[in-house]
Structure 1
Amino acid sequence: MEFLQQNIMWVALAAVSGGMLVWPMIAGGTVAHLTTAEATLLMNREDALVLDVRETGEWGSGHIHGARHITLGQLGNRMSEIEKFKDKPIIVICASGNRSSSACNQLKKAGFDKVYSLDGGISAWVGANLPLTTKS
């Protein structure tokens, strides 16, 4: 007991950091992230669906060829449009990776199993010198 009283800050730090490690498992799992190289392999080898959840203006400035566009805010209402892809891998993309993680969690709750977030989002895609298109 004396040890705990003398080292309360260290004990608290250990408890908080341990809690942060366990939280993703409690909160519904973790999101699988892909690099741009892993994403292109999945697209080419397994015909993965690319789902872009950015806003319309962001989409219009450039997106991955063949990607489907459903904004994060519309995803819940438009889930039926991608229902036929439940058995395929889905790569979710946003600007930097934050919205895509949220979309991945929504998709997993809806029963999609093979869901991945592009690590770094469209910024990483552009940074890897991979092509974008502005055509629908």
Structure 2
Amino acid sequence: MNDFLHKLPAFLGNHLALSALFALLLLGLVATEVMLRLRKYKELTPAGLTLLINRDNPLLIDLSARADYEKAHVPGARHVMPSQFDPEHKDLAKAKELPVVVMDKDGRGADKAAQRLVKAGFAKVYTLGGGVAAWQQAQMPVAKGGK
């Protein structure tokens, strides 16, 4: 280990571009992790969502396209079109104290909805990481159809 520490300054001096690239990548990774830990909502795995459903009976909101929702959705999830999603709606505002899980087909669009819920004053906001696709991949039960 001592030999490594003595050779490190010479290596860094001989490989400035690689050293700078490594430092930038490391800084980017650290910044990303810090941002994920500081956001006001959490991402759940399918197993984590199962625990939450069994423990707290959360409100499940699926923002998938209608056709995707009808093909497969988490049992108990309510379908809402992304264009009609309004955290200030009177029916949704009643659930401010409940845990709310936002999901979509692949987990890409749920973050914006979760941020809107946090801004509207919802205390316990979650997203399903990977969306309904991750739920299916984990071989969890799905519901089909419009209800």
So what's the TM-score if we normalise by structure 2?
0.73
- Corresponding residue for residue 129 of structure 1: 140
> Which residue identity lines up with residue 145 of structure 2 in the other structure?
T
Alignment gaps of 5+ in structure 1: none
1:109-128 equivalent positions in 2, closer than 5 A: 109-127=119-137, 128=139
- Conserved? CA contact 1:104–1:116, under 8 Å: yes
Larger radius of gyration: 2
What is residue 11 of structure 1 aligned with on the other side?
A: 20
SS of the residue corresponding to residue 91 of structure 1 reads strand
| Residue type of the alignment partner of 1:104 | A
Q: Give the residue type in structure 2 aligned to 1:117.
A: T
Could you state the TM-score of these two structures normalised by the residue count of structure 1? 0.78
Aligned match for 1:73, one of 83, 86, 97:
83
Q: Percent identity?
A: 29
State the 1:68 CA deviation.
1.6
Q: What is the CA–CA distance in structure 2 between the aligned matches of 1:93 and 1:29, rounded to whole Å?
A: 17
Alignment of 1:76-91 (within 5 A): 77=86, 79-80=88-89, 81-91=91-101
Q: Report how far residue 20 of structure 1 moved.
A: 5.0
> What is the count of residue pairs matched by the alignment?
133
Counterpart of 2:9 in structure 1 is none
What is the CA-CA distance between 1:89 and the residue it aligns to? Answer: 0.9
Q: CA deviation at 1:78?
A: 5.6
2:106 is the alignment partner of 1:96: yes
Give the C-alpha shift of residue 133 in structure 1: 2.8
2:116 maps to what in 1?
106
Contact 2:87 2:116 in 1 (8 A): no
- TM-fit CA distance, 1:66: 2.1
Q: Does 1:60 align with 2:57?
A: no
For the residues of structure 2 that align with 1:53 and 1:19, how far apart are their CA atoms?
A: 30
C-alpha distance in 2 between matches for 1:121 and 1:51: 11
Q: Aligned partner of 2:61: which letter? A: L
CA–CA distance in structure 2, aligned partners of residues 68 and 7 of structure 1: 54
